[in-house]
Structure formats: C-alpha cells, structure tokens
Amino acid sequence: LLKAGANPNKDPLNCLLVAVRAGNHEIVRLLLSYGANVNCYFMLVNDTHFPSAIQYALNDEVMLRLLLNHGYNVEMCFDCMHQDIFGNSFVWSTPEEEILPGWTSSVIKDNPFCDFIAVPWLKHLAGKVVRVFVDYMDYVPLCTKIKYVLETQKEWTEIRHILDNPRPLKHLCRLKIRKLLGLRRLQKLSSLKFPLPPILKNYILYKEYDLYGKGIS
C-alpha cells in the first residue's frame, strides 16, 4: 500500500501511533521511511503538549531512538509553564487565536512532559529518557519540576556533566543541518542522492544511535 502511494497520515487513528504503541519497530521504521509524521498528535484525545508518539516508547530505547533519529521534536518535551529560561516562574495567558500547536485553550488538558513523566508510575524512567533526549539537543532547559525528579536518579550525574559543558562543535553542526533539511527531506536522506560522503550522511542521520538498524544488520 505504501509503495502504491498510500498516505500514512490520513487515518483518524494514526497508524504510526498504533505501531509505536504495539512496539513494532519494523512497521514504525517502514511508516517513517514513507513519510509518516513523527510529530503527529492523537487528535481524538490530545492531552499532551508534546507530540504523542514518545509517550508510548518511554520504556523502549530502540523505539525511542528510532523516533528521535527520524526527527521527533524533542524540544517540545522541555516546553512547559513552570519557568522561563532564566528560572522565573510564569503563567501562560495566550489568546485563543495565538495558541501554539499542541496547546488548546484549556491548559489543564495540555500536559507538559515534566508533569507527564513525574507521575509515580513513570518517574523511575525519567533519568534514562532524558539522558537519551540530550543526545538530540543543544541547550536543554530543565524546569524545576523535572530537575527535582532527575536529581534522585542514577543518570543525573552524567546528565549534569553533559549540560554543564559545551557541546561538541560537530554535534551542533549536525543539529543545524538537520533543522535546515527539514523533516521530510531528513526522513528521505538515506535514499536521496546527496553529494555527501557516507560517513557524513550517517552522522547526520544519527546512525551511531540506530539501535534497531544495528540489530537487523
């Protein structure tokens, strides 16, 4: 169906979200290679500020990195109302017509990631998940709530070390190139005939973190 031109983004119950929730890495990889929107929302019941797929992959690093490698917007997981980048608390007062993608006019329904991951039955995963997230970011704005959760976990020392030091220049260049390419071209980069050395193309595509690809190769 996909080869014949089927659109993986048309179904009301998004097929990518179904595959992620089922833990089917191969179907997820296939859908993403044919243009499935990794930053989609479950529009029938959208109660998260961040794109929906990641919530079904928190306990599966292979799936987590599969989504992130294909352009999942991880910055949305650190966009919350608890404080601004200077540590000052604030409250959103956005007019209806200016609401950001993922937000509705009812703020209580738009759960930021820090609230989502801080619940008792998920917070033990926070350190592992955020440690993966920082591999795909430059500056990571930790609000007081998620920082409080992270400080109790074994990954916190490594996370803090990464955040307290400048990121490598090649990593910053990779992030910039991925942003300039955009989601659609990024998902097709491996098949496009770009005049790039394979080692550079693989770096842009985070092949060193392609745990699923390593498992089937």
Q: Which domains does the chain have, with CATH numbers?
A: 2-165 (1.25.40), 167-216 (no CATH)
Strand partners, 111: 48
From residue 156, how far is each of 35, 54, 150, 206 by CA, in Å? 35, 21, 6, 23
- The string of DSSP letters for 68-82 reads HHTT--GGGGG--SS
The whole-number pLDDT of residue 92 equals 40
Rounded Cα distance between 203 and 27, Å, is 23
Contact in structure between 63 and 32 (CB atoms under 8 Å): no
Query: pTM to 2 decimals?
Result: 0.83
Total residues belonging to the chain: 217
The whole-number pLDDT of residue 13 equals 83
The whole-number pLDDT of residue 107 equals 41
Rounded Cα distance between 54 and 85, Å, is 23
The whole-number pLDDT of residue 153 equals 95
The whole-number pLDDT of residue 156 equals 96
Consecutive 10-residue averages of pLDDT for the chain (217 residues):
89 90 95 92 77 94 95 92 54 41 50 91 95 94 92 96 94 94 80 78 90 64
Strand partners, 48: 111
